[in-house]
Amino acid sequence: MAACMVAVLSIPSTALAKIYFDETGRKVDIPVSPRRIVSLAPSITETLFALDLDQQIVGVTMLSTYPEAARSKPRVGTFINISLERVVSLNPDLVIGTADGNRTGTVEQLERVGIPVYIVNPRSCEEIFRMTRNLGGITGRVDQAEAVAAGLRKRIDHVASLLKGMPEPSVFFQIGINPIITVGKDTLHNELIRRAGGVNVYEDASVRYPRCGIEDIIARNPDIIIISSMKRGGDFLNIREGWKKWETLPAVRDGRIHIIDADIVDHASPRIVDGLEKMARIIHPEVSWK
């Protein structure tokens, strides 16, 4: 902590600051057009890059790997375990974190040494649009944020127009391997399945990420199985092959077992629309996508 106190002496002054309320209702004094921003989540990093803030980003978390330029940014720890000393050493005038993952204690410690921390909390596509606009507002990228959000909405509307009146096959979405874990109703994944023209076979689950027994999955009889590459280093081709022993499942019978890149369906950032478009192509290959 001594190192933090030394470093904090050089943190840029917030004399020219504006008062904002972040997405959790916290009051935050943020410098006008912040010049040194630390991102505490890959989704935030991706959003900041989408707003053309490459030069202002001075720190990111370990798994911030998109776009390619993010790989060269200094690391401040993992999504959950942030190094306070590392953040302070980067001399930020703004830190942006997320309610869904960053520890409250980390935010409180950063505030105690005088660093403004703005927290986002997107849990749906609409809230991702809101987050994009909010981050544009606090970083001086209002016009860019409006353009990004408008472009995302146009793409979502296009998917909806192509799927209008189409049948809705049932989907089992696998995010955990051993044990098998899927997604319930109140998740971004469930919204993507719905918007992509499918029905989540575990939409009725009472928890967000239920564990599943193979017998129950078979009973739910999914038309399509989508496997997320969430587990780093997972052998997803073998996992897909493993499903083929259950020959009575429509997804197996019809060869509809797919692997999807977790980064485009897990991160609450503008890339979520890439995930939606990919999922829509998986669920409805019969549509003429253009």
Helix, strand, or coil here: 238?
A: helix
Helix, strand, or coil here: 194?
A: helix
- 2-151 and 168-283 share one fold: yes
Measured at the alpha carbon of residue 48, what is the angle toward residues 42 and 51, in degrees to the nearest 5? 145
Instruction: Report residue 14's pLDDT band, with 50, 70 and 90 as the boundaries.
Output: very low
Separation between Cα atoms, residue 102 and residue 95, nearest integer Å: 12
Buried b (16+ CB within 10 A) or exposed e, 59-68: bbbebbebee
Instruction: Report residue 144's pLDDT band, with 50, 70 and 90 as the boundaries.
Output: very high
Stretch (H or E) spanning 17: strand 17-21
Q: What is the pLDDT of residues 97-113, one digit of tens each?
A: 999 889 999 999 999 99
Res 253: pLDDT: 96
Res 13: pLDDT: 47
The domain segmentation of the chain, as residue ranges, is 2-151, 168-283
The amino acid occupying position 17 is A
Share of the chain above pLDDT 90, in %: 86
Q: Residue 232: pLDDT above 80?
A: no
Res 9: pLDDT: 41
Tokens coding 202? 């575990």
Instruction: Report residue 230's pLDDT band, with 50, 70 and 90 as the boundaries.
Output: low
Q: What is the mean pLDDT of residues 22-32?
A: 96
Q: What is the mean pLDDT of residues 220-236?
A: 82
Q: What is the mean pLDDT of residues 235-263?
A: 92
Q: What is the pLDDT of residues 33-72, one digit of tens each?
A: 999 999 999 999 999 999 999 999 999 999 999 999 999 9
What distance, in Å, lies between the first and last C-alpha atoms of the chain?
55
Q: Residue 165: pLDDT above 80?
A: yes
Q: What is the pLDDT of residues 166-206, one digit of tens each?
A: 999 999 999 988 899 999 999 999 999 999 999 999 999 98
Q: Residue 225: pLDDT above 50?
A: yes
Res 235: pLDDT: 76
Share of the chain above pLDDT 70, in %: 93
CATH, range 168-283: 3.40.50.1980
Q: Are 42 and 264 in contact (CB under 8 A)?
A: no
φ and ψ at 82, to 5 degrees?
Answer: -90, 135
Fold of 2-151: Rossmann fold (3.40.50)
Q: Residue 140: pLDDT above 50?
A: yes
- What's the chain's average pLDDT? 92
Separation between Cα atoms, residue 43 and residue 135, nearest integer Å: 12
Q: Residue 233: pLDDT above 70?
A: no
Helix, strand, or coil here: 99?
A: coil
pTM of the model: 0.91
Q: Residue 6: pLDDT above 60?
A: no
Q: Residue 11: pLDDT above 70?
A: no
